[in-house]
Structures are given as structure tokens and as C-alpha cells.
Amino acid sequence: MRIGIVGASSLLGKELAEELGNSIFAVGEVVLLDEEKATGQIAAVGDEAAFIRRIEPGSFQGLDLVFFAGRPDETTKHWMAARKAGASVIDLTGALAAEPGVAIQSPWVLPTKPDLATTAIVPAHIVSVILALVASRCSGLGVSKIAATVLLPASERGQAGMDEMHEQTVKLLSFQSLPTEEFDTQVAFNLLAALGPAAKMPLEQTAERIRRDYARLGTPVELSLQIIQAPVFHGYGISVLLESGQTMTTQEITESIDSAHITVLPPPNSPSNLIAAGRPTVLARVDKEDGNRAWLWMIADNIKLTSLHAIACAADFRARRLQGKVQ
């Protein structure tokens, strides 16, 4: 199998290339693609190194699977060329969500059926996946509503977001004017419920995507959501209030959510960005409030989990297409 990664120089692209080398796709050949300015850079593919190639008209010929992990406009520009070349498309940018024949999915949450009509997959935003996992697993405890506050790291905006927060930090300490091209406001040493009006990606746009994707994953549990921009480089922080129509114990909640993708830490341990870095699962802590309410504090490596989830979506998509052809 030949696999392409468009946006190979991005944070997600680099992590994806590394994780592919440790996945069921490890036996395949990975082709790294990006814009001209990234051409010639070296990136890791598993334990090996590869050069990033410039995207050209024939770049997608012979590829079986293409991940789009760069900017949304790159996805919009090149995805049809990948489809016409016969490749399955996995869009990590979310740019294709409204396109005909494109499905928003998560095999971690909702099983899917063999399908030949779907032309591309948009993996559900990993925050929506985490919340849907919690909601679906706690629904058996009578939980009918969850309220979540999500702290977004600078890396949600890719390398540009990280660079801007780093530059703001340095310039604040030396009393210089701040760069604000990405966020249109100060994010270093700050907590914000909204960015500046000229921000490249408003927080509400991210919140809308999370709500939309959560709804697509089929959980009957109602979600109330708030997004906060946090002054951290990596890692989602998610505070969740569970509300049930019946009494819940800490043990019941722990047993419900502790799973392949969520690891509950026993007290007095607490999840943090530092210990979650590089972990393939969400780290969680359960704190009871009263009989029918409880709080969860969860931390997830946003880049790692987004990459692993995209690979799971790709494996599921390929398997379903093969099953569909056999049937």
C-alpha cells in the first residue's frame, strides 16, 4: 500500500508520519507531500527518514490512501485530485465536512457498516470523540446531560499558533509589542473565552465543529460546551460535569469510563499536560460532588490522539470498502 500525507511539515503531519510507522500501515510506503517552501525537509516515518516532496499534478497517482493534515485550503485545493487518482481520502482539517459523499465518523465511538458510496472521511474532532466516549459510557448510569469546559492549547492552531504564543511570551518579558497575526490578541499568560475579531480561527468556529461532530456520533446525552483558549502549548484540558437522574458512585463512574481510550488515575493522582504528553489515551480523574453529580478532569495529548484517531478512521474506512466490494 502507498500512503500520502499532504501537509507533512505540519505538527499533525509529522506526528501522523511517525504513528503510521507503528500502525497496521507500517508495511506501506509513505509519501510526504507539502507546499514548495517545505520541499526537501526531512521528516521521520516510523524509524526511518524521508524527504518531503512538492505537491504536483501527478503526486497522487498510485496512492491508495491520502491524509490531509495541513491547512484547510490545501485540502480544498487538492482532495479531488487525490480522489480522481483512486485514493481514499482522510481529512484531518475538517474542510470537507459539508461536501457530498463525505462522512464525519469515529470508529472509537460508533460502529460503521460496509460502504462504497462514501468518497472521503472527516475524523470527528478528537474533543467530540472524548466527550462522546464519556457520554455513551455513562448513559447506563442515568446520565442525560453533560457540561464541558475545554481548554485549547496553542497547538490547536498548528505551528503558527505555537510560534505566536512563544514570541508573545518572549516579547512580554522584554516589554516589546506583541505579534497577533494568528490570534489577534494576547494569548500568552492569558485565559480567553473569545479571540480578537481578526483571529484566523475564532473559538466559536472550533466550538461549532465540536458540537456538530458530537451530534453526528449518535449519543443521546445532551452536551453544553464552553471553549477557552489557554496559555499552554500542548494538551487539551477538559472539565466535565456529569448529571444523572440517579445516584452514582465514584467506582461506578470509574468502571464505566476506564477503557481502551480513557485511563482513570486513582486518587490522589491528577492528570496534567506534562504526564499526558506522548500518551495514547486520555487521562482522567473522577471527583464526586453529591449523589447524582460528578466532575471529571481530563487531559489529552491533542496531536497524538488526533493522529491515532485518524489512523483508526483510515483502517476502518479501508476495511469497510473491501467488505462492500466483497458483498
Same domain, 298 and 161: yes
- Domain encompassing residue 227: 128-302
Domain CATH for 114? 3.40.50.720
Number of domains composing the chain: 2
Q: Report phi then psi at 147, rounded to 5.
A: -120, 130
pLDDT at 320: 77
Same domain, 93 and 182: no
Asked if pLDDT for residue 67 goes beyond 70, the answer is yes
pLDDT at 57: 84
Handedness of CA 320, 322, 325, 327 (dihedral sign): negative
Same domain, 228 and 109: no
In the Cβ-directed half-sphere of 179, how many Cα atoms lie within 13 Å? Answer: 14
pLDDT at 39: 66
Same domain, 227 and 322: no
Same domain, 99 and 141: no
Average of per-residue pLDDT across 25-30: 87
pLDDT band at 51 (very low <50, low <70, confident <90, very high): confident
Same domain, 71 and 215: no
Query: 290: which strand partners?
Result: 293
Measured CA to CA in angstroms, residue 265 lies from 53, 64, 141, 239 at distances of: 43, 40, 20, 15
Average of per-residue pLDDT across 205-215: 97
Same domain, 120 and 135: no
SS3 of residue 308 by DSSP = helix
Average of per-residue pLDDT across 193-206: 96
Do the bridges between strand 293-300 and strand 236-244 make them parallel or antiparallel, or are there none, so unpaired?
A: antiparallel
Domain CATH for 267? 3.30.360.10
Q: Report yes or no on whether pTM surpasses 0.85.
A: yes
Between 45 and 9, whose confidence is greater? 9
Query: Each residue of 240-290: pLDDT tens digit?
Result: 999 999 999 999 999 999 999 999 999 899 999 999 999 999 999 999 877
* Mean confidence (pLDDT) of the chain: 92
Asked if pLDDT for residue 327 goes beyond 70, the answer is no
